[in-house]
Amino acid sequence: MPVPPPLPAARGPLSEHAPLRPGPHRSPGAERLLVVSASMGSGHDTVAAELARRARATGREAHVVDVLALLPYGVGAGLRGFYQTAVRHCPWVYAGIYDFFLRPGPRPRPSGTPLARLASDRLMRLVRETRADVVVPVFHLAAQLTGHLRARGVLRVPSAVVVVDFAVHRQWLHPGNDLHLCVTDEAASEVRRALGRPAEATGPVVAPGFFPGGTGEAGWRRRLERHGPGRPAVLVSAGAWGAGAQLAGTARLLAANGFLPVVLCGRNERLRHALSGVPGVLTPGWVSDMPELLQACAALVDNAAGQTAVQALAAGLPVVGYRPLPGHGAEGVRRMAALGVSDHAPDEAGLLLSLTRLTEGGAERERRIAAGRALFREDALSWVVRASPSTGPRPQP
């Protein structure tokens, strides 16, 4: 398996392996951060945890809260359960919800603000208790909440939204927020056009351990070689909830064509049990050492354009989008491919063609790896702590 060249040293506070640079020049800025995440899968929480880690590494305080836990009457748990059921068992339902509520476009659609407002009192209590200097939503419902509170003058510290999706759907957008930090230039431009508010492209927020430079992948390499000698290991991700279309068929296809499919079933033990009997397929269960596993594999087959995909890009792993989840998953997979940082395979033949081309050593693989790494441009934290120092209300949209 080709070993990608080492990354240049970083000038940011992350790691000598992470090709990030700080945003504006270092200044004291915000000292206390309140990061508002959501326990929808694990992607938003992963970003929130990394932002908090970076803040604490620079001597700041950081608190992370789940916006779903701030909603009263069990509404948050109900939303999570409904979404999990929809993406696992009836994805066409979520596709309809996405089209009606979230898809960008000029047609008026319902806002998420009325639902978000139910969490207002609890969030403001936390702002006071933590004495937060800046509030950082990393989930769209949280962005609706902070935007609403800023516009009304209730939240008197800046709100800096960290948009984790390649495709920025309309619920990420509220003109009351002070700043949006986006994965790509295209996404930042969309935010500026839609809101007339500041937006910057910093790239994905990924922990430094995912970038090459460690040695922990050796154990995974030995395990993969024992399970599939001589076969390139291809990671197949189904996210934290183990959701995806025809995952067993994809695994069989890869195994029958000379690859070792390593299927991440998340916490879906039923899916893992169903796949564990497929010949030539490895189902390791919940993986706590993802950086090592990623760096031991040859490629990722992805269906969501979420955190696993950007972690793979950080690790120097080519990504192929295949059978994406509906809604923002499908939009994100298309956006990634259009940027040239991944392939989008339309069918089985296209999947095999992409994997064959990208798992072989050579200039094309190296170009794809370099394109993925180029997304990691700046440290989002340095922009967060320098968010507008205004303590007054934002204008009412």
- Write the burial class of residue 92 (CB in 10 Å: 0-12 exposed, 13-18 middle, 19+ buried): exposed
101 falls in which pLDDT band (50, 70, 90)?
A: confident
- Does 248 lie in the same domain as 198? no
**Domain containing residue 323:** 213-373
- Does 273 lie in the same domain as 162? no
Given a cut of 80, whether residue 22 has pLDDT beyond it is: no
**Cβ atoms of residues 387 and 143 within 8 Å:** no
DSSP letter for each residue of 19-54: --B-SSPP----SEEEEEE--STTHHHHHHHHHHHH
Distance (Å, whole) CA 295 – CA 308: 12
**Cβ atoms of residues 172 and 163 within 8 Å:** yes
285 falls in which pLDDT band (50, 70, 90)?
A: confident
The CATH number linked to 276 is 3.40.50.2000
Distance (Å, whole) CA 79 – CA 118: 13
**Cβ atoms of residues 79 and 112 within 8 Å:** no
- Does 318 lie in the same domain as 285? yes
DSSP letter for each residue of 168-179: --GGG--TT-SE
Angle between the 247-256 and 269-276 helix axes, to the nearest 10 degrees? 30
Given a cut of 60, whether residue 267 has pLDDT beyond it is: yes
Q: What percent of the chain has pLDDT over 70?
A: 88
- Does 202 lie in the same domain as 64? yes
Distance (Å, whole) CA 262 – CA 235: 5
Instruction: Answer left, alpha or beta for residue 371, where phi above 0 means left and psi between -120 and 50 means alpha.
Output: alpha
Distance (Å, whole) CA 150 – CA 120: 11
Distance (Å, whole) CA 381 – CA 320: 29
Between residues 162 and 102, the one the model is more confident about = 162
Residue 3: its pLDDT value, please? 31
- Does 133 lie in the same domain as 57? yes
**Cβ atoms of residues 177 and 196 within 8 Å:** no
Indicate whether 27 belongs to any domain: no
- Does 168 lie in the same domain as 39? yes
Indicate whether 22 belongs to any domain: no
Angle between the 307-315 and 363-373 helix axes, to the nearest 10 degrees? 120
- Does 242 lie in the same domain as 192? no
Query: Residue 135 phi/psi, 5° resolution?
Result: -110, 135
- Does 126 lie in the same domain as 107? yes
Which tens digit of pLDDT belongs to each residue from 39-97?
A: 998 899 999 999 999 999 999 999 999 999 999 999 999 989 888 887 777 877 877 87
8 falls in which pLDDT band (50, 70, 90)?
A: very low
- Does 327 lie in the same domain as 202? no
Q: What percent of the chain has pLDDT over 90?
A: 68
- Does 62 lie in the same domain as 201? yes
Q: Reduced to 3 states, what is the DSSP secondary structure of residue 225?
A: helix
With b meaning 16 or more CB within 10 Å and e meaning fewer, what string describes 246-268?
ebeebbbbbbeeebbbbbbbbeb
Residues 6+ apart with CB under 8 A from 222: none
Indicate whether 323 belongs to any domain: yes
Maximum C-alpha span of the chain: 63
Beta bridge partners of 199: 180
Which tens digit of pLDDT belongs to each residue from 291-331?
A: 999 999 999 999 999 999 999 999 999 999 999 988 888 99
Distance (Å, whole) CA 167 – CA 293: 27
Between residues 274 and 262, the one the model is more confident about = 262
110 falls in which pLDDT band (50, 70, 90)?
A: low
DSSP letter for each residue of 98-124: IIIII--SSS----SHHHHGGGHHHHH
The mean per-residue pLDDT over the stretch 1-17 comes to 33
